[in-house]
Amino acid sequence: MKKVLVTGGAGFLGSHLCDRLLDRGDDVLCIDNFFTGQRKNIAHLNGHPRFEFIRHDVTFPLFVEVDQIFNLACPASPVHYQFDAVQTAKTSVIGAINMLGLAKRTKAKILQASTSEVYGDPEVHPQTEDYWGRVNPIGIRSCYDEGKRCAETLFFDYQRQHNVKIKVMRIFNTYGPRMHPNDGRVVSNFIVQALRGEDITLYGDGTQTRSFCYVDDLIDGMVRLMDSGDDVLGPINVGNPVEFTMRELADAVIELTGTKSKIVHRPLPSDDPRQRQPDITQARTKLGWEPQVQLRQGLMRTIDYFRSVVGEGA
């Protein structure tokens, strides 16, 4: 049994990770400040004998004893991370420093939940881990993009300078139950609009592409990376390499929900990347991982979840 700390544990990914760790027998300490995390995501874990929750902001030091740290704390959707851009940057950078300091003191292994946003609006397609990216350092998305890039820098410097055992995972678009209904991400946007019978908002001409990974697959990749040998540091892309246009996604949501919603077009947001697709060669070879859930299957599960959420007035 390991004592595992999950920062951002009440969030979309964090709550699923807590479930997975408890299922395999670990002791889980979940921390969250509820900026974007939701109590209902972990409500089913209340009273679990191996689950503990502390309300805490990672920009402040935390003094606990743990064997592993999954650092997931940070708002991850443009709507949320742009709401308080300074705090977003602090969460990525100061949060990383605090968690790395904890890992250094306790000799814990630590995994950083980084992001495909470190590649910016890429000139290389699909994106491989050795691509340095094309990021606007002063744009409206920079608080997140550059914050995560700086966090990666800190992780590798702590590894080189202090021999901290690190893992860095670059997460590509992920979807599934427990997504925040108002996070502004394309999957949740389309589904909620469809279920409410509203127009489905398509930004730009709909030809921009994304690759969508179902949450169960993503969490499997995350756990595999943490459990991999000490020679596997990352960064490693984890995501679904199958590419879809935004129009294809909108059409699939319309079909699967049975909505009569119409598609309306809006201008493309600033610095929004045209293409995003992971090269997962390293994940396949080093982790034995690749996604198993197809988009339509994952969308159906996600739609079922949002039917209950929208019914609650979310």
Q: Apex CA 42: angle with CA 298 and CA 77, to 5°?
A: 55
Strand order in the sheet with 3-7: 51-55, 27-32, 3-7, 68-71, 109-115, 166-171, 236-238
Instruction: Say if CB 99 and CB 105 are below 8 A apart.
Output: no
CA–CA dist 264, 201 (Å, integer): 5
> Burial, 230: exposed, middle or buried (Cβ in 10 Å; 0-12, 13-18, 19+)?
exposed
Q: Could you confirm whether 144 is annotated as catalytic?
A: yes
Within 10 Å of residue 246's Cβ, how many Cβ atoms? 19
Question: What sign does the CA torsion over 174, 175, 179, 180 have?
Answer: positive
Amino acid (one-letter) located at 32:
D
Active-site hit among 81, 119, 131, 144: 144
CA–CA dist 54, 7 (Å, integer): 10
Q: Apex CA 176: angle with CA 175 and CA 179, to 5°?
A: 80
Catalytic residues: 144
